Structure 1
Amino acid sequence: MNLRTLFLLLIVLAIAALAALNWSTLAEPSLVSLGLVSFEAPLGVLMLGLTVLLGVFFVAYVLSLQGTMLLETRRQSKELHAQRELADKAEASRFTDLRAFLESQHQQGQAALLARMDALESHLAARAEQSDNTTAAYVGQLEHQLRRKPGDSPAP
């Protein structure tokens, strides 16, 4: 119980104690004037009734205020939940887009790597064939030199 509620409860208890202890004085009839009309009634009971009426009015006002705040809080909570769902969906969409982008980049990189490997393979095959041809030419030249007779003159 907070301090404000405790203070209000003490005031209500003090009013109830004063009314109970002084009931005979409160219930004594006296002349009450409403401006145009005057009548005899117990002024203390009348004032006590007005105080209770004022208390009931303020309690009803506080309850309606609390109800309004609860409804507003609930509405805002629903709005926040809807916004959170939208944000989650947008984030999931961004992740899906990122995944698609990364997959396309991976496929492009893989295609470029395969093209480069094919180019290197064909270059290596050409170099191997060139090396084979060069080796064959050297072997042929050596064979030619070995088969040549020692007295023959070298061909120009």
Structure 2
Amino acid sequence: MRFRTLFLFAVLALTLLFALLNWEAFTAPTTLSLVFGTVQAPLGLIMLGVVFVLAAMCLAYLIWVQGSALMDSRRHAKELQLHRELADKAEASRFTELRNFIDVELQKMERVQADARTQLVARIEEMEKRTRLAVQETGSSLSAYIGELEHRIEHRGPNGSDPTAH
């Protein structure tokens, strides 16, 4: 866009320079025919005026196009910012949802772990009870065997024979 604007100003400057160098020819009166009649006027000045009016119209058009582009750019920037905010909110919502999901899953894992721990402690206690019972039974059996051996030793005869063996 800047190149076009500079080009337009360069053409206008060259036209102005051309008019200044040929000012006498531009201001020479000439008979001009209009549809309704004739008029005496300098043709160069009229043509120069037409060129400047056309240049002003082109300049106004350029300003309008650049203004429209600027307004569209601002509108697009606002829409982009709105979409960016919506995307940020959606992303934050997804993060919140993910965090909630992870919290729920961690709570489930903690419950499963607590249940497993409770079951393990119950099993260990049951095994301890069984082990104590087995130790007690073994102790009782050993005591019975020792008692029987003591009884045999006490009732043994003088020659070392067992009187209950007959």
The two structures have a TM-score, normalised by structure 2, of: 0.86
Query: Does structure 1 conserve the Cα–Cα contact (< 8 Å) formed by 2:31 and 2:40?
Result: yes
2:120 alignment partner, SS class = helix
- Could you tell me which runs of 5 or more consecutive residues in structure 1 were left unpaired when the two chains were aligned: none
Q: Give the structure, 1 or 2, with the largest relative contact order (CA under 8 Å, sep 6 or more).
A: 2
Tell me how far apart the structure 2 counterparts of residues 71 and 4 of structure 1 sit (CA, whole Å). Answer: 20
Secondary structure of the corresponding residue to residue 108 of structure 1: helix
| 2:138 aligned with 1:138 | yes
Provide the residue aligned with 1:34 in structure 2. 34
Question: Do the aligned partners of 2:8 and 2:55 also contact (CA within 8 Å) in 1?
Answer: no
Which letter does structure 2 place at the counterpart of 1:104? V
Counterparts in 2 of 1:5 and 1:64: CA distance versus 1, 3 Å: closer
Which residue matches 1:18?
A: 18
How many Å separate the matches in 1 of 2:139 and 2:40? 147
**Identical aligned residues as a percent:** 33
Structure 1 residue 3 displacement after superposition: 4.8
SS in 1 for 2:35: coil
Checking the alignment, whether the CA contact within 8 Å between 2:12 and 2:55 is kept in structure 1 is no
Looking at structure 1, the residues matched to 37 and 69 of structure 2 have their Cα atoms a distance apart, in angstroms, of 43
Instruction: Give the TM-score normalised by structure 1.
Output: 0.91
Q: What CA distance in whole angstroms lies between the structure 2 residues aligned with 1:54 and 1:126?
A: 106
Rg: which structure is higher?
2
Alpha-carbon contact 2:30-2:42 (below 8 Å) kept: yes
Q: In the alignment, is residue 77 of structure 1 matched against residue 77 of structure 2?
A: yes
Q: Secondary structure at the match of 1:41?
A: strand
Structure 2 unaligned regions, length at least 5: 156-161
